[in-house]
Structure 1
Amino acid sequence: MARYEGGCHCGRVAYEVDVDLGRTVTCNCSYCQRRGSVLAFAPAQSFALLKGEDALSEYRFHTRQIQHLFCETCGIESFARAAMPDGTPTVAINVRCLDGV
């Protein structure tokens, strides 16, 4: 597990997260497939939104369990919030939005 910084394209949304990039998923759902996301999952307590809460817009579909959050300025979804099947709050990190990765 390592600490990374990431965010959206325009810089309005920024965060830091402790996450293991050795375990990534290329999701093939209808939404992620179109976005080309590569995801890594981190416990919610390992994620800190540094700026941009006021810049986030939300999209939910199908079961409406995942809070897809994207920057209202540039449209980039750099992370999403949800819960694991056991109820543990988690954050799905779009690895393509991490600085230096």
Structure 2
Amino acid sequence: MITARLPEKQTYLARCHCGAVHFRIRTDWPELTTCDCSICRMKNARMVMVHESELELLQGADSLTEYRFHTQTARHFFCKHCGIYTFHRKRMLPDHYGVNVACVQDVTVAITPRIAHGAALP
């Protein structure tokens, strides 16, 4: 039996545009997603999903502002200074975060994102 070896998770640093918010994630880049719900469609971010244990806020908790809508379940976090969407606590998997890949430093990801159909959720 031949089994494929999955890439090991690595640690990456991430931040907002102005540098007020710094965080660290661990991921093996299983996939990227985009979402077609109303807010994701407007922010047009590509996201990587990480378990809550694999995101660590290093600096700037007081610089994050939170936005909730519709069911008030998903928690979208933005830097209140520069307005950059950093990450969000997911609605369907509340122990995971969707992380804005554009915030991750020194990484160029060439993966076609999977489209999540959030607009169809009740």
Structure 1 equivalent of residue 70 of structure 2: 62
Structure 2 equivalent of residue 100 of structure 1: 106
Structure 1 equivalent of residue 114 of structure 2: none
Q: Secondary structure at the match of 1:12?
A: coil
The alignment covers a number of residue pairs equal to 99
**Match 2:61 to one of 46, 53, 70:** 53
CA RMSD of aligned residues (A): 1.4
1:12-43 Cα deviation digits (max 9, x unpaired):
00000002323110111111111111011111
Counterpart-to-counterpart distance in 2, 1:66 and 1:9? 23
Counterpart-to-counterpart distance in 2, 1:52 and 1:84? 26
Q: TM-score, normalised by structure 1?
A: 0.89
Q: Give structure 1 regions of 4+ aligned residues with deviation exceeding 4 angstroms.
A: none
- Where structure 2 has 5 or more consecutive residues not aligned to the other structure, the ranges are 1-8, 108-122
Counterpart-to-counterpart distance in 1, 2:10 and 2:44? 23
More moved, 7-16 vs 21-30? 21-30
**1:1-101 aligned within 5 A:** 1-82=9-90, 84-85=92-93, 89-101=95-107
Which of structures 1 and 2 has the bigger CA Rg? 2
Q: Secondary structure at the match of 1:75?
A: coil
More moved, 22-31 vs 41-50? 22-31
